[in-house]
Amino acid sequence: MTITFGDWITEIANWVFLAIALPTLGAAVLVVSAKNIVRAVLALVVTLAGTAALFLMLGAEFVGWTIVLVYIGAVIILFLIGIMITRAPLTKNADLSQPISMRVPAALLSVILFAVIGGAVAASFGGAAIPLPDEATTTASIGETLFTNWVIPFEVVSFVLLAALIGGIALARQDPAEEGEV
Amino acid sequence: MFAALTPFLAAFAFLSEEGGHEVHAGDGGALAQWAWLIVVVPVVITFLIVFFGKKSPLKGWGMATFGMAFVAVYGAVLAWVNLQEGILYEGAIDIGKIGPFALQWGWVVDGLSIMMYFLVGIVGFLVFVYAKGYMKGDVRYTWFFAAFSLFAGGMLVLVSAPNLIQLIVGWELVGVSSYLLIAHYWEDFDNVDAGNKAFMTNKIADVGLFIGAIIMALSAGSFQFSEIFSRMIEGHTLLAQFGFWAGLALFIGAMGKSAQFPFHVWLPDAMAGPTPVSALMHAATMVTAGIYLIARLFPFYQMPEFAGNVDSYIVVIGAITLFFMGLLAIVQDDIKKVLAYSTVSQLGYMMAAMGVGAYSAGLFHLFTHAFFKSLLFLGAGSVIHAVHSNNMSDMGGLRKYMPATFWTFLIGTAALIGLFPFAGFWSKDEIIASAYYNASTDPTAAAWFMVILSIAGAFITAFYMARAVSLTFFGEYNGHGHPHESPKIMTIPLMGLAAFAAFAGFLNMPGITETFIEWVTVRAFPISEHHFTAPNWALISIVTPIVLIALGIGFWLFRPKETQAARDTFDIPVLYPLLEHKYYIDDFYMDGIIRPTMGPLADGTLWIDENIVDAVPNLAGGAAKHVAAAVNTVDQNAVDGVYNSVSAGTGAAGGFLRKALTGRVQQYAAMSFAGVVIIAALFMIF
Amino acid sequence: MTIIQFVLLGAALFSIGLYGVLTRKNAVLVLASVEVMLAAVNVNLVAFDVYLGDASHAGQIMTLFLIALAAAEVGIGIAIVLLVFRNRRSANIDELDVMRF
């Protein structure tokens, strides 16, 4: 089923979508361009919260709340800690980005990338409607499929996390010998 | 979920009665249902030792030994019940699904696995007790027992497996913990090398195991052994079609773990680990895994319509291994290496027995070998502990200093070479008799090859053991310091193992007792094999004199002489250098395969890095500049201006390219992304 | 609602994230930009999951895996940044040009 622009604009859900998507994009722009490092990271919170809200809209409740818990709860804290430890200047600081000679080609590349992807999708999907589910995907069904069809990848991911844990410790640990010198 | 498969197995028991071989089996009741404890206890204890071992009063040794004692007692009780009424039980817990294949963790309780539980438990227990004395004062004492416990636990995971997946898990657990144990003294680089060698050789063979498991599962539709066997009863056509390849690939996996020619190279080097590790590795765990796999799939290998003639390959490989690896033991100076090659040779016997269809004879040899070989290793360890050297040229005359070690070592030797009435006599003669029976019923070249080599193998075994005993315990002491008997904690396990080595053979005397056969043939699938009702006196009257003659020659050749060097001279032209260089197989692997592959691989990447990656900007500018300059001088006047500009242009291009490689990651990222975008755009347009 | 609006949002987020990765100097902010790119991928996965009505919820499960991997990535990434900072007293990646020959 394809949807014309007239139908699209009159559907109330799309206004909700726009209300979520536009601030999300705006916050994303802020993440990559803000001159205050803390502000950039806080903009990341808004971006991720926006995607979480979209997931709730699509009925993917478990994934949405996981984003809130894991990303906004934990990952952002990690970023803030990273900022604190690397003693980044907390005031407005122009030295966070590359000079304009680097920014313009990068912006151009990004726009072309967006055009390529957008063109490809538009050509393939057109106005195909997304069938919104009547009820949200339950956590129970996610859990069921996770531990039947996806149990091997699940185990693999747990190994990756373990490796990351060990790797993180090994990397960030102060070398005892070094400590003696300092 | 528990016991879900038991009715299924009962159907098998019925079938096997029809097959003429009676299997009376119960399901073992609660005893079998709780048999998962056998597997779980050592593995849990491993973690307990890792986390709490250092703080515990016995530094982890107590926990590890308790785990093994538990397994041994549980295994013994199971064995007793099994002998009374038979146990056939398969417990399973579903843990997931991969496509149509169910993933299960389960535990098989039948004659074969009970035998292994008991063996791992009892040998493990005695070796662990011994290790307390041997490892005393070691820097990584606690860690050693954790890895040791995991090693035994991995083996138990393997033997309890009702499906190929769990078997592979146990297989790899054994592999990784053996790596940890072989490289236990990792401060010495050679030991790390030995660990790597063992791990890599096994990995190469493991590819066979994986491929075999996958072919098996895809053609039979399941990883479960019981399912595969029931497909065989149905006469599954797909399995019949691919069975040969599955069987061959699985056998290659078994060859790796059981150190069969040509994968034997890792085992002698695995001696780098502490001696208790060698004792357990060469007796009850690790190397028996391959034999166990073949035994578990024995009905499959027995049916030519499924496995084709893989069994004759097994016979040939086993026979080659038992003879040629035995020869290598003759020239070793390191006492542990003598025993290591001896292990490889005995594994050849077991493997060949599986190939000729002598299921219980092969397993019986596995069973008795576990006792006398761990006894010999522990005895060697006791000697090494006393003289602080592995080399027999540093020993000699130890009989007087270490009587307990000497007498137990002698019992182990008698058992290994198959002297009446020690354990090895009954098990090895059964294999030779089976080989002879096989050759006389189905006279092929391979079958007679096996008979001749197995008798020759008995000769060689007696010869190298005579040499080892003579060089170690007779004559004058050649080493440094004053050797003394090992403490009681080490000699008592030796005596325990010596008792088993002396008496275990009585479990299976043809025509008199059939306890062992009754024990291991309690299986969910009928085992068809020939049963001897009486010892084959004709063969015994050939083999036993041969063994005695070999002993005599050995003791005479290496009798005490004036100097140890005089005893060591034992030179046969051509053969001796061949043996000393291990038939050049290790050299061939190193120089023929590893270096030619590894060297060019490393050189190639280095070359690409130095010459292509680095040189592109240099070349683009520099070379073009040179060419331009050369042409410039030749034809300076005519096209001077043109060439000048070309040269300058290419030079500039080179300079630009040089600048492009700034070492800044973001620019690299931008370039690679630009490339991706361009390719994507091209795909869209065309 | 159409599928394309979600995909376009994903593409836009991805491009913005790419811009950030290419232009940010501060390593922590580069990692943050990578997170924006990963969020874009998540949007795509969930949108297609709903669009295809997959019974096994492949898209949502993949998103969960991606979240786990992204968490691991940030952990390691921050650890590397810390290490670099400790060695060079700077978290600016444009000063890391030792890869130049």
pLDDT at position B641, please? 58
Question: Could you give the CA distance from residue B197 to residue A42 in angstroms, rounded to a whole number?
Answer: 52
Q: Is the pLDDT of residue B260 over 90?
A: no
Spell out which residues of chain C touch residue B664, defining contact as CB-CB under 8 Å. 93-94, 96-97, 100
Q: Is C93 on the interface with B (CB under 8 A)?
A: yes
Residues A31 and A93 in one domain: yes
pLDDT level of residue B9 (50, 70, 90 thresholds): very low
Chain C CA closest to residue B610: C101
Q: Is the pLDDT of residue B14 over 50?
A: no
Q: Is the pLDDT of residue A145 over 70?
A: yes
Q: Looking at B23-37, B65-79, B104-118, B312-326, which range is the least confident one?
A: B23-37
Chain B CA closest to residue A121: B684
Spatial contact of B360 and B517, defined as CB atoms under 8 Å apart: yes
Residues A162 and A119 in one domain: no
pLDDT at position A181, please? 46
Spell out which residues of chain B touch residue A102, defining contact as CB-CB under 8 Å. 666-667
pLDDT level of residue B1 (50, 70, 90 thresholds): very low
Q: Do C23 and B669 touch (CB under 8 A)?
A: no
Q: Do A112 and B96 touch (CB under 8 A)?
A: no
Q: Do C19 and A107 touch (CB under 8 A)?
A: yes
pLDDT at position B286, please? 85
Give the whole-number percent of chain A exceeding pLDDT 90: 19
Q: Do B97 and A148 touch (CB under 8 A)?
A: yes
Q: Is A99 on the interface with B (CB under 8 A)?
A: no
Residue among C15, C16, C39 whose CB faces A48 most closely: C39
Residues A16 and A106 in one domain: yes
Q: Is C99 on the interface with B (CB under 8 A)?
A: yes
Residue B595's contacts (CB-CB under 8 Å, 6 or more residues apart) are none
Q: Using one digit for the tens of pLDDT, what is the confidence trace for B662-678?
A: 667 777 888 888 888 88
What's the burial of C23, exposed, middle or buried (CB within 10 Å: 0-12/13-18/19+)? buried
Q: Using one digit for the tens of pLDDT, what is the confidence trace for B549-586?
A: 888 888 888 777 655 555 555 666 666 666 777 777 77
* Residue (of B348, B341, B347) closest to B326 by Cα position: B341
Q: Is the pLDDT of residue A138 over 90?
A: no
Spell out which residues of chain B touch residue A119, defining contact as CB-CB under 8 Å. 684
Spatial contact of A116 and B684, defined as CB atoms under 8 Å apart: yes
Chain B CA closest to residue C23: B666
Buried b / exposed e across A105-123, counting CB within 10 Å, b at 16+? ebbebbebbbebbbebbee
Q: Do B664 and C97 touch (CB under 8 A)?
A: yes
pLDDT at position C10, please? 93
Residues A143 and A168 in one domain: no
Closest approach of C18 to chain B, Cα-based (Å):
9
Residue B203's contacts (CB-CB under 8 Å, 6 or more residues apart) are B175
Q: Is B528 helix (H, G, I), strand (E, B) or coil?
A: coil
Which of B664, B667, B668, B684 to mutate: most C Cβ within 10 Å? B664
pLDDT at position C98, please? 61
Higher pLDDT, B565 or B536: B536
Residue B55's contacts (CB-CB under 8 Å, 6 or more residues apart) are none
Q: Is B558 helix (H, G, I), strand (E, B) or coil?
A: coil
pLDDT level of residue C36 (50, 70, 90 thresholds): very high
Q: Using one digit for the tens of pLDDT, what is the confidence trace for B309-319?
A: 888 888 888 88
Q: Do A37 and C2 touch (CB under 8 A)?
A: no
Closest approach of A117 to chain B, Cα-based (Å):
8
- Average pLDDT (B640-666) is 65
- Average pLDDT (C41-53) is 90
Question: Could you give the CA distance from residue C57 to residue C92 in angstroms, rounded to a whole number?
Answer: 41
Residues A141 and A172 in one domain: no
Give the whole-number percent of chain B exceeding pLDDT 90: 3
Residues A69 and A21 in one domain: yes
Higher pLDDT, B20 or B345: B345
As for how many domains chain A has, the answer is: 2
What's the burial of B150, exposed, middle or buried (CB within 10 Å: 0-12/13-18/19+)? buried
Q: Using one digit for the tens of pLDDT, what is the confidence trace for B263-297?
A: 888 888 888 888 888 888 888 788 888 899 999 88
Spatial contact of A37 and C29, defined as CB atoms under 8 Å apart: yes
pLDDT at position C34, please? 92
pLDDT at position A133, please? 72
Please name each of the domains of chain C with its CATH number: 3-93 (1.10.287.3510)
Spell out which residues of chain B touch residue A151, defining contact as CB-CB under 8 Å. 95-97, 103
Higher pLDDT, C37 or B608: C37
Residue among A105, A116, A147 whose CB faces B684 most closely: A116
Q: Do B670 and A119 touch (CB under 8 A)?
A: no
Residues A90 and A107 in one domain: yes
Q: Is C56 on the interface with B (CB under 8 A)?
A: no
pLDDT at position C11, please? 93
Higher pLDDT, C53 or B294: B294
Residues A27 and A104 in one domain: yes
Spell out which residues of chain A touch residue C56, defining contact as CB-CB under 8 Å. 145, 149-150
pLDDT at position B12, please? 44
Q: Using one digit for the tens of pLDDT, what is the confidence trace for B38-47?
A: 888 988 988 8
Q: Do A117 and C43 touch (CB under 8 A)?
A: no
Token readout for B300 is 């499959």
Spatial contact of B544 and B420, defined as CB atoms under 8 Å apart: yes
Closest approach of B647 to chain C, Cα-based (Å):
24
Q: Is the pLDDT of residue B193 over 50?
A: yes
Which of A66, A98, A130 to mutate: most C Cβ within 10 Å? A130
pLDDT at position B3, please? 40
Residues A136 and A169 in one domain: no
Higher pLDDT, A31 or B18: A31
Give the whole-number percent of chain B exceeding pLDDT 70: 84
Question: Could you give the CA distance from residue B289 to residue B470 in angstroms, rounded to a whole number?
Answer: 33
| B221 phi and psi angles, rounded to 5 deg | 85, 10
Place of tokens 């690790």: B286
Residue among C16, C60, C79 whose CB faces A110 most closely: C16
Pairing assessment for the beta strands B89-98 and B101-109 based on DSSP bridges:
antiparallel
Closest approach of A81 to chain C, Cα-based (Å):
9
Residue among C2, C63, C71 whose CB faces A63 most closely: C63
- Average pLDDT (C54-82) is 88
* Residue (of B127, B467, B410) closest to B283 by Cα position: B127
In chain B, residues 607-666 whose CB comes closer than 8 Å to chain C: 614, 661-666
- Average pLDDT (B120-141) is 86
Residues A33 and A64 in one domain: yes
Mean of all residue pLDDT scores within chain B? 80
Chain C CA closest to residue A21: C9
Subunits with 3+ C-beta pairs closer than 8 A to C: A, B
Q: Is the pLDDT of residue B500 over 50?
A: yes
CATH of the domain at A95: 1.20.120.1200
Q: Is the pLDDT of residue B182 over 70?
A: yes
What's the burial of B670, exposed, middle or buried (CB within 10 Å: 0-12/13-18/19+)? buried
Residue among A8, A48, A70 whose CB faces C2 most closely: A8
Closest approach of A12 to chain B, Cα-based (Å):
34
Domain ranges across chain B: 167-585, 589-613, 616-685
Domain that holds residue A14: 5-149
Residue among A47, A86, A172 whose CB faces C28 most closely: A86
pLDDT at position B598, please? 67
Residues A60 and A132 in one domain: yes
Q: Is A109 on the interface with B (CB under 8 A)?
A: yes
Question: Could you give the CA distance from residue B519 to residue B522 in angstroms, rounded to a whole number?
Answer: 6
Prediction ipTM score? 0.88
Q: Is the pLDDT of residue B529 over 70?
A: yes
Spell out which residues of chain A touch residue C91, defining contact as CB-CB under 8 Å. 86, 88
Q: Do B96 and A116 touch (CB under 8 A)?
A: no
Closest approach of B668 to chain C, Cα-based (Å):
9
Q: Do B681 and A147 touch (CB under 8 A)?
A: no
The number of helix segments (H) and strand segments (E) in chain B equals 32, 2
Subunits with 3+ C-beta pairs closer than 8 A to B: A, C
Q: Using one digit for the tens of pLDDT, what is the confidence trace for A48-91?
A: 999 999 998 888 888 999 899 888 888 888 888 888 887 777 77
pLDDT at position B568, please? 57
Q: Looking at A44-48, A72-76, B67-71, B651-655, which range is the least confident one?
A: B651-655
Q: Do C60 and A114 touch (CB under 8 A)?
A: no
Q: Is the pLDDT of residue B227 over 90?
A: no
Residues A139 and A60 in one domain: yes
- Rounded to the nearest angstrom, the gap between the alpha carbon of residue A107 and the centroid of all alpha carbons in its chain is 20
Q: Is A112 on the interface with B (CB under 8 A)?
A: yes
